[in-house]
Structure 1
């Protein structure tokens, strides 16, 4: 028996909905650590004309002074806040399966009403297998691309979201972020230390210590450290491990640290997470400061992903194409609420 086109579209939408809506955090795993962290703390935003706007405190404008007797007290007019506006952008992806492809898998599609045709058991199995493969590939591809774009600075397209490279910049004294000019707004610059001579004894540790203190001074302890392979290797070589021998027992020596994608390395008790996408970004953009040489001290209290939740869509097929179409829409913005609570480091 064949299946009707409306029933096919319905089954496809249900399958896509199950794959996409409730799996962003759990299914990404350690392969996309930045996206995993952001999705874990994501917040929904309602419709906005063009920007997600946050209020930021730029100064206290204190008029503190000492006074005695009849010393006049001076008063000032204060403007302690500013608004940072981050344009939301729409991420989309879509695919189709032609009716002939379905027919080649033993599924015949008719243009009848829903319920007019019903699948045989063998056709149900074939359809489920075909949809599973399509949906799995669709999901993995969407999140892979989304993760990469959340790393980049947004300059690749006028419709791209501003990601980590734009918000926590390696040259934080230039550019406009959230509508605020960093060349004049000193409070809106992130911390940075580049060209660190990691081959010099103590240089890397000293630079990390200095940047850590700057982050703490401006908002508290970073809770997420993201780094590339070259930086992690340089840091690993600065660590000296002392082993205490136990007489009477066999010894096991393992030069490797950590397990799997977990580096097993820490700084100030915070795990240093390896981001395998840094290598992809180097090949994609060839930046002046390679991603693989970078390390980010991030405070996720002051950086968050805002989105309007995924919209699962089944467009009506064109009149001249026999196929089933599916797509998703996701409006989002990566919002920076405090810049100087973060730092980016890079070895030479």
Structure 2
């Protein structure tokens, strides 16, 4: 028994929608630590014309002074806030089921719209269609998450429609350019900490300086993300001090973590290895001094935010000259910060 084209479209979109909603992006493994962290704290993206907005305090506008007796007091009208505007963008992907491919698998599609609801698949045909849809949906999900994760790392310049990502919000040129509509060249508060070409012997001191700078401007970082080269350099300068039970033999492992967790810590925060750094190095081929594998990001997750409006699944109208059924997956999203100076990035030499 064949299946009608409208019924196939309905089944495909319903199955994909159910699949994606029951397997949300925030359930991915630790191999993608940045998107896992962002999804774990994500907010709903509210309808807006072009931007997701963060209100930032630029100054206290203080009029503090000393006074005694009848000394005249002065007053001022305070304007302390500015708006940082981050564009939301649309991430999309899709799939199509070729009717000839389905026919070769044992399912015939009836193109007659009037046959909707009148044709019922045999049990074996249902199994075939289920298996085909499952494979297509799994591949769609994995590919979508993979690409979204990469783009959330990048600076948003790869495309005019790309989302602004980590490389722009926590920049290697923090005093250059406009981010979120605020000019970092003139607004000194709108700059993250950066140190580049840091020699291995200077890593600890530089990390201390970065940490203090972050604390001064919004609190201690609670998420440290680094590439392989940086992690290896950091591990090489660690020293162990053991004062208790000194007479007993010790087994020392400087990397006792699992998966992307390195087991290496700084100020009590574990350094997380990001395998995507090497992927972006291959994609962007940056100069040696800017390699992602050499980077370490100090991130305060209270001040780095991700928003989306949940995935939308729908059935586009197929072209008149193609015999296939289409399903599309869209996601409006934005990545933003309300305190750039609460973050830091260090690049090892």
Equivalent positions of 1:130-279 (< 5 A) are 130-198=132-200, 200=201, 203-241=202-240, 256-279=255-278
Distance 1:282 1:66, change over 3 A: same
Report Cα offsets for 1:265-313 as digits up to 9, x if no partner. 1111111111000001111112241110001111111111111211101
Equivalent positions of 1:62-141 (< 5 A) are 62-112=62-112, 113-141=115-143
Structure 2, unaligned stretches of length 5 or more? none
> Residues of 1 paired with 2:331 and 2:247: CA distance?
57
* 1:57 aligned partner: 57
C-alpha displacement at 1:46, in angstroms? 2.2
* 2:340 aligned partner: 339
> Residues of 2 paired with 1:77 and 1:109: CA distance?
71
C-alpha displacement at 1:64, in angstroms? 0.8
* 1:4 aligned partner: 4
C-alpha displacement at 1:255, in angstroms? 6.6
> Residues of 2 paired with 1:25 and 1:88: CA distance?
18
SS in 1 for 2:336: strand
Distance 1:49 1:309, change over 3 A: same
> Residues of 1 paired with 2:166 and 2:132: CA distance?
36
> Residues of 2 paired with 1:245 and 1:129: CA distance?
60
SS in 1 for 2:322: coil
Does the 8 Å CA contact 1:25/1:40 hold for their aligned counterparts? no
Equivalent positions of 1:295-314 (< 5 A) are 295-314=296-315
C-alpha displacement at 1:75, in angstroms? 1.9
> Residues of 1 paired with 2:188 and 2:251: CA distance?
52
> Residues of 1 paired with 2:182 and 2:26: CA distance?
35
C-alpha displacement at 1:143, in angstroms? 0.6
Distance 1:208 1:227, change over 3 A: same
Report Cα offsets for 1:73-107 as digits up to 9, x if no partner. 12223211111111111111112110001111111
Does the 8 Å CA contact 1:19/1:139 hold for their aligned counterparts? no
> Residues of 2 paired with 1:60 and 1:23: CA distance?
45
Distance 1:264 1:73, change over 3 A: same
> Residues of 2 paired with 1:164 and 1:297: CA distance?
11
Deviates more, 1:306-315 or 1:137-146: 306-315
> Residues of 2 paired with 1:278 and 1:309: CA distance?
26
> Residues of 2 paired with 1:285 and 1:270: CA distance?
29
Distance 1:11 1:30, change over 3 A: same
> Residues of 1 paired with 2:246 and 2:11: CA distance?
63
Paired residues in the alignment total: 343
> Residues of 2 paired with 1:256 and 1:148: CA distance?
26
> Residues of 1 paired with 2:297 and 2:145: CA distance?
21
* 1:320 aligned partner: 321
> Residues of 2 paired with 1:197 and 1:256: CA distance?
21
C-alpha displacement at 1:245, in angstroms? 6.9
TM-score normalised over the length of structure 2: 0.94
Deviates more, 1:115-124 or 1:12-21: 12-21
Does the 8 Å CA contact 2:5/2:109 hold for their aligned counterparts? yes
Structure 1, unaligned stretches of length 5 or more? none
> Residues of 2 paired with 1:11 and 1:246: CA distance?
69
Distance 1:26 1:49, change over 3 A: closer
SS in 2 for 1:10: helix
C-alpha displacement at 1:26, in angstroms? 4.5
